[in-house]
Amino acid sequence: MSAFKIFDITGSGMTAQSVRMNTTASNIANANSVSSSVDQTYRGRHAVFAAELSDAKRMQGDDSVGVKVLGIVESDAPLNVEYAPNHPLADENGYIYKPNINIMEEMANMISASRSYDTNVQTADAAKQMVMRTLRLGQAN
């Protein structure tokens, strides 16, 4: 019955979205983490999604395509360099380095991830109802 596979699919979707939510949370939390060199500065992290088709399943002809997180990449957008000679973390030239994170972008990303997570939950819920009703088929109603 395919309805059982829906739980695997929505489960993989929920995992992927929560990884995305996780990276967003750490981006937002570190948005103001200042450092005194380019190397030590926190950079925005983003999860990369890919459709996952299990080869073992494809052989059997009942493929199901879930989501997997290929990896988490660090953004290579330029860092925000600020001239603040009085800052305790300023380097010898008086510059501090702030992460390349756009808070607005991250907020939008968070909302999108949370909506997608919700959608997956609702899909699993609907699939559960289908299975439950099928199990009760033929019983007194």
12 is an interface residue for another protein by CB under 8 A:
yes
Task: Pick from 26, 66, 110, 114 the residue near another protein by CB under 8 A.
Answer: 66
Minimum distance of another protein from residue 92's CB (angstroms) = 42
Measured between alpha carbons, how far is 18 from 35 in angstroms, rounded to an integer? Answer: 28
Measured between alpha carbons, how far is 47 from 106 in angstroms, rounded to an integer? Answer: 12
Stretch binding another protein (CB under 8 A), from 13-21, 34-42, 81-89, 99-107: 13-21
| Coil, helix or strand at residue 80 | strand
Q: Give the list of residues 6+ apart from residue 67 with CB closer than 8 angstroms, or none.
A: 12, 13, 15, 16, 49, 50, 51, 52
Task: Pick from 25, 29, 65, 89 the residue near another protein by CB under 8 A.
Answer: 65
Residue the block writes with tokens 């990276």: 23
Report which secondary-structure segment, H or E, holds 95. Answer: strand 95-98
Query: Which residues inside 95-114 make contact with another protein, applying CB under 8 A?
Result: 112-113
Q: Give the list of residues 6+ apart from residue 128 with CB closer than 8 angstroms, or none.
A: 7
Minimum distance of another protein from residue 46's CB (angstroms) = 11
Stretch binding another protein (CB under 8 A), from 27-35, 36-44, 65-73, 88-96: 65-73
Chain residues binding another protein by CB under 8 A are 1-3, 5-6, 9-10, 12-13, 16-17, 20, 48-51, 59-62, 64-67, 112-113, 116, 119-120, 122-123, 126-127, 129-130, 133-134, 137-138, 140-141
